[in-house]
Structures are given as C-alpha cells and as structure tokens.
Structure 1
Amino acid sequence: MKYLILGTGLQGRVVGYDILKFEADAEIIFADIDQKNLETAKALVRDSRTSFIGFDIQNTEETVALMLKSDLIIVCLPHDGGTTDAVYRALAKANGKKAVFSDYWLWPRHHAHHEALVKAGVLAVPGMGIAPGFANICVGQLDHEFDQLEEATMYVGGLPVDKGIHPLDYMESFNLEAMLDMYITPATVIEDGKVAKKPNLTVFDKLIIPGHGEVEVFWTDGLCTLEKNMKGKGVKKIAECTLRWPGHIAKMRELEAMGFFSTEEIDVNGVTVRPKDVSEKLFQKMWAKKWGLRDMTYLYVVGKGMKDGKFLEKAYELKTYSDEEAGITSMELATAYPISIAAMMVAKDDSGRTGIIDPELYFIGDKFHELVMHLGERGIPVYEK
C-alpha cells in the first residue's frame, strides 16, 4: 500500500514510523513545507521504503499530483481554516482516493466539503488521534452497545509521571499553541440534552489515575462532532475533561487573570506583541520535554445507560508512557497510533462509501474491536471496565 503523509511534525512522523513497522509492503511519501520537519522524520524512520518531498498545501496542482501517487492520504497539517480548505480542494480533484485526518477542531468546515468528496468518489475520515479521536470513538461505541446511552464523559490528560520536578507540574507533550487555546476556550458540553457552555480553567472534580494518584478535572472543548452526532439520540450529558496534577489549574487561572493569555495586541518598547504569544514562547522553554523523565497519557471514557432493561455503567481505559529510547512522547504515541491504524484500516475499505464520515460513526462494532486489537499489538491495551 502506498501512503502520502502531509505534514511531518509531532504526529505525522510517528504515524509513518508506525505504519512502516507494522505493514511490510508499505511505501510512504512524507511531504512538508518545512525542511527541518522532513529531516527529523527521516532520522526517526530510517527506512528505504520512504521518500521525502517539500510541498506547499496552497499549491493545489502540486498537492493533487502528490495525492495521485498514493492509495491513501494521511493529513497531519495545522487545523486552521485556510489549510483545511486547501486540503479539501485538492482531495476533491483526487478522484477515488481515501484520506484520514489527524484530530480536528473546525469540524463544520470539514463537513462543508462533504458533497464535493461524494462527487469525486473520495472517502475521508477526519478527527483521528486521542482526544478528539479515540475518545470520541469510545463514546460512539458505547452508544452502539447501549440500548439507550444516557451520559458519557471523556477524561484525558498528558502528564509528567513524576510530580514536583517540572515547573507547574507540567511538561510539553503536544502542540503548546493548541493547549493554550484549550485553556482559554469555554467548553461546549451537553447537559440535560441541550448544548451548554462551561467556563474555562474551572476545576470541578477529581480522579484517580491507577498507580499514580489524584488529578484535578476541568472542562475542555473537545466534543467536536459528538455535538451533532449524539443530538436527538436521547443522550442527556456529554463532556470532555482534561486532567492535570493538583494545583496546576489554579496557577493557570492566576496567569490568565493577569493577562498572560490575552490575544489583544500590546506595545512593548515599540514592538507589537500578543501576551499569549509571549507566554507560549516562555512555556516552550520552561516545559520542554526532558528525555529520561517519563511522561504518560491517560484516557478514561465512561458511559451510563440502559441495556436489556437494566441501568449499566461501562468504561474504556487507556494508559501509555513515553518511549524514551525512541524519543517519542506518550501523547505522540497515543495520538499517532490511532491515526496510523485508522489509515491502514481505511485503506482496505472496499465498502464503496464516500464523503466525510466521522470517526465515532465509522469505528464502531467490529471496526472498534479491530482498532482496539491493533492498539494492544502496539503495547497500548484498552481495558473494558
């Protein structure tokens, strides 16, 4: 199978690394506008079945030509609107191809291209990763298993394993810009069957991570397409929550109150800056991954509802650690592996389905169990509780 990976940053290069490890006849084209990203990917995979190409996603003709060289396209590019639209413009001209996207936030923008992909005979599954991604898939599977899903909560967090070592008990494990956006964005949830908003950086609960202890729980804006796909199904409550070591969020709230996360431009000695951008640069240095000190990613998705006339509760749990030897963080593994597995599964899809299919609608039933099996093969077991 021939794969094209667009974007070779934290996710894309690990996705390719995994496919090459688990699929003997795979060939991969890594494409990126950033030569440094390509060099980093090349150093990681070290495989003769690969090629590395510079490209610009805004050049539609160039992108289509690349897509036509592959059987399946894996999109690990930034999630801004301009980039998203550019990808779909190219996909709509790559007749008959299949695509998998890394996790996404502007999901209505993706669905605006549905009819164009149907017309082109293209199948696309966006929104893969850990959260959004596998977390949302677990909710979709719970809805599939219950006669009536009443509520579901997704708990997820990437954390340093050891407390008291890193500043503010955090260490960068994924894109810091996206994390700060998550910190300042009110969370969309479903409450009493209706869409509602929860305040950002607000701790409202505690959770125990087995073997590690208590973490604090705060709402984050990660429902994505669950907001529309669970609508009208009788689900009364859905929320995504992020986990941090105790005390972290209180310190973040203080910084927010002092204006460190403001996106309004200010003048500093004749230079115009946004405080959030400055904070991001400071955090990148302060929270840089320290190899030799493990980090972990933990996911716990719990659902409650009716099955065979009984009220039941069921959960799916995942926990993984950084690969210090390979130089891959736990969040890179937990995000990239669902993408790579999804890519290999979608590449073999002969159902004839086209258009955009959300992950929580695609990976249910037998496909869910296959996805879980492949995660287990990679040393990431998913436990049913």
Structure 2
Amino acid sequence: MRVVVLGTGMIGTTVVCELAKFPEIAAVTAVDVNESSVEKCVEIANNQKVYGKQASLETIEDIQNVLKDADIAVACLPHSLSPLAIEAAISEKCHLVDLVGSKYEEKVKLDQKAKEAGVVIVPGCGVAPGITNFLAAQGIEMLDEADEAVMTCGGIPRFPQPPLWYQVVFRLESVLGLYTRPALAAENGELVELPALSGLEKMSFPEPVGMCEAVITDAHSTAYTLKDKVKRLYEKTVRYEGHWERMKFLSQLGFFDDEPIDINGTQIRPRAFSEKILAPKLQGKTKEDITVLRVEVNGRKSGVQTKYTWEMVDFYDYERNITSMAKTTAIPAMLLANWIAEGKITEKGIVSVEELIIKDRFAPFMEQLGELGINIRFKEEVLV
C-alpha cells in the first residue's frame, strides 16, 4: 500500500516515521508546502520507504495532484484545508484518515460519494476527537442503558508558568476557538449548543498534574453518532486552575472578536492582534508537556448502576523526541491507516472513528496503542 501524509509538522512527521515501520506499507510520501520541513521529516524518518515532496496544498486540485496513485492518505492539515482534503481523496479514490473533526455535519454529506468511490474517510481521528470518541462509544456499548458519557481531555505544560498556566502545543488559531465557539453536545436524543466556556468543573489527575479545571467544548461527531444511545453526552477540555477564568475575561472584553476595528485609520482584527500578544506568553518553561484524558460512561448493566472510566496521563516522549500531544494525536491516525492497509477496516463512506473502533475491534486497537506507548487505564465501578 502507498500512503501520502499531508503536512510534515511534528504530528505529520510522527505519522510518517511510524507508518513506514509496518510491512504492509510499501511507500510513504511526506508532502508539505515547506520544502525544509519535508527534508527534515525524511531525515528524521531515515527509512528507504519514505519519500519527500514539496507541493502546494491550498486547493482541491493541489491535493488531488499529490494523491494520484496513492492508496491511503493521512491529513495532518489546518482545519480550513480538511474539507478540501476529503473531496480530493474521494475524487482520487483514496482512503483518508483526517485529524480534523470539525464540521462533521458537512463532511457526512459526502458519504454517498465516498461509497461510490469505494473509499473510507475517517474524520477526527487523533486523541480528542479520536481516542475519546471510541472510548465513549465502547462504554455505551458495554452498558444495557447509558445515562451519561463525558469525554475529558487536555494538553497541559509539565511546568506551568504564570499568568496563563498553559503552553501552545499545536496551532494557536485552533486554541483560541475554544474561548469563543459554542460547544456542541447531546441531551435526550437532541443536539444542543452550549455557551463557550460553560460547565466549569474542578477535577484532579494523578501526580504530577494535581488539580485542574475543565469546560465544555465541542463533542464533534459523537454528538451526532451517539446522541440516540446515551441520555447526555459532553466533551470537556482541561487546563490548570485559573486559566479558563482569565481567558473568559479576555473574551468578554472582545479580545477574541473577528470583526475588524479601526485604530488610527488601520483596520485590525482583535483576535489577530491578541494572537500576536499571547503567543510569547504561551511558551512553556520547557518543551515538556502532558496529555490528560478521562472518559466516564455511566448507566445500568444487568440492573445495576455502573460506571466505566478510562484514564491516561501521558508525558513528553523523549525516545521519539516529540510532545505528548503530537504522539497521542499521530499514533491513533497512523494505526488506523495501517489497519486500512491490512484490510481490517472494510467499511466505505464517511465513517467516524467511534463507529469503527468498538466491539471486536476495540481490544486489539487498545492493545496496539499500548504497544506504541499510549497506555490507558480502565476501571469499573458499581454505583450505590
């Protein structure tokens, strides 16, 4: 199988390096607009099966050109390019695993086209959305009647620094959306939109993390695919204590608004201005980061109120020399791409990861995640 990886940042490079190790993969082409990034990716991979290609990825036609003759693609691209990558993959009859989970309702409209092309397109296959999705789906599947599923995840610094107690481990543009965008959730079989930064909750994780807090953020595809299987479903994003309050204050003052304002005759978007101001304040003391994850599903099993909990605390990966967020985002996507190559995934169309990695596929996928360094603990409780 021939694979194309779109984007050669830290996540894309990790996908390239790991995929090339599998015998089912004949060749991996790493593609990016930045030639030096491509060269660095190929150098890090140090594998004869890996090739580099510098190319524009700004249009459907651009992406079509690099997907010609490819069997599978993994998209590690900005949110704005995700729909283009999906359309290009369908037109070139190329399977696609996409890290971006936003605008699921728009992507699923292409389901029939993907089926006709004979390909599977999997949106939102990273850590969150991604791992959190299929953990929630499996928990619901294990119960006779599910009451609530809460998917909690966050990338946080190993050594948090004031005043924001956070460091950016991926695109700042994506992070700022959390402070302004309404959150999609599911309640009683219906889709609901909740205000940005709502549902503030304190929670703790094992040391060295300690006390944190979380707010409700977008549940992506699970709001659509699981809403009829559980009474309440939410996703929450974790930060250290105090972070959300500070960012909510800035949001209320208009610092994250997109509407341009006039400053001495110059039109400036407050959000763009804030990005420039905040970027240096969101650099950590070191490059070390932590990814925390907790998925809790409760309901009835054999007439008994039962709760299933999956939890992960993952650290910077010094063996691979990548952030925890890059590792936990890249490896699920890479592994699913290899499962497609192995013929373990036979579905066609636009299919969410929570529809794929459940039941008989769940345990083998979790086992392989563990072998690749993503260790998630499971606990079952009877609630009185």
Normalised by the size of structure 2, how large is the TM-score? 0.91
Aligned to 2:75: 75
Distance 1:196 1:261, change over 3 A: same
Aligned to 1:353: 347
Aligned to 1:266: 261
Counterpart amino acid of residue 328 in structure 1 = I
Measure the CA separation in 2 of the matches of 1:354 and 1:2.
Answer: 18
Distance 1:318 1:21, change over 3 A: farther
Distance 1:131 1:21, change over 3 A: same
Distance 1:201 1:231, change over 3 A: closer
Aligned to 2:225: 229
Q: 2:372 aligns with which of 367, 372, 378?
A: 378
- 1:180 is displaced (CA, Å) by 0.4
Aligned to 2:168: 172
Aligned to 2:127: 130
Distance 1:371 1:282, change over 3 A: farther
- 1:55 is displaced (CA, Å) by 2.2
- 1:76 is displaced (CA, Å) by 1.5
Describe the superposition over 1:318-363 as per-residue Cα deviations: whole angstroms up to 9, x where unpaired: 2211124644111111111111111111222266431111110011
Correspondence list, 1:1-385, <5 A: 1-21=1-21, 26-58=26-58, 60=60, 63-80=63-80, 83-95=81-93, 97-163=94-160, 165-202=161-198, 204-211=200-207, 212-221=209-218, 223-233=219-229, 235-291=230-286, 294-324=288-318, 326-349=320-343, 352-385=346-379
Q: Secondary structure at the match of 2:196?
A: coil
Equivalent residues of 1:156, 1:297 under 8 A apart: yes
Describe the superposition over 1:175-219 as per-residue Cα deviations: whole angstroms up to 9, x where unpaired: 211110011112122234433332222453211101121111211
Identical columns (%): 30
Describe the superposition over 1:218-274 as per-residue Cα deviations: whole angstroms up to 9, x where unpaired: 1112x11212212333x1111111111111111112211222111110123433221
Equivalent residues of 2:166, 2:284 under 8 A apart: no
Counterpart amino acid of residue 264 in structure 1 = E
- 1:22 is displaced (CA, Å) by 5.3
* Large movers: runs of 4+ above 6 Å: none
Flag structure 1 segments of 5+ consecutive residues without an equivalent: none
Normalised by the size of structure 1, how large is the TM-score? 0.91
Measure the CA separation in 2 of the matches of 1:239 and 1:187.
Answer: 9
Describe the superposition over 1:267-309 as per-residue Cα deviations: whole angstroms up to 9, x where unpaired: 2343322111121122222223554x52100000000012222
Counterpart amino acid of residue 370 in structure 1 = P
Measure the CA separation in 1 of the matches of 2:261 and 2:43.
Answer: 40
Distance 1:23 1:258, change over 3 A: farther
Deviates more, 1:60-69 or 1:140-149: 60-69
Measure the CA separation in 2 of the matches of 1:87 and 1:205.
Answer: 36
Measure the CA separation in 2 of the matches of 1:36 and 1:276.
Answer: 29
Measure the CA separation in 2 of the matches of 1:287 and 1:42.
Answer: 29
State the number of aligned residues: 378
Distance 1:62 1:241, change over 3 A: closer
Q: Secondary structure at the match of 2:164?
A: helix
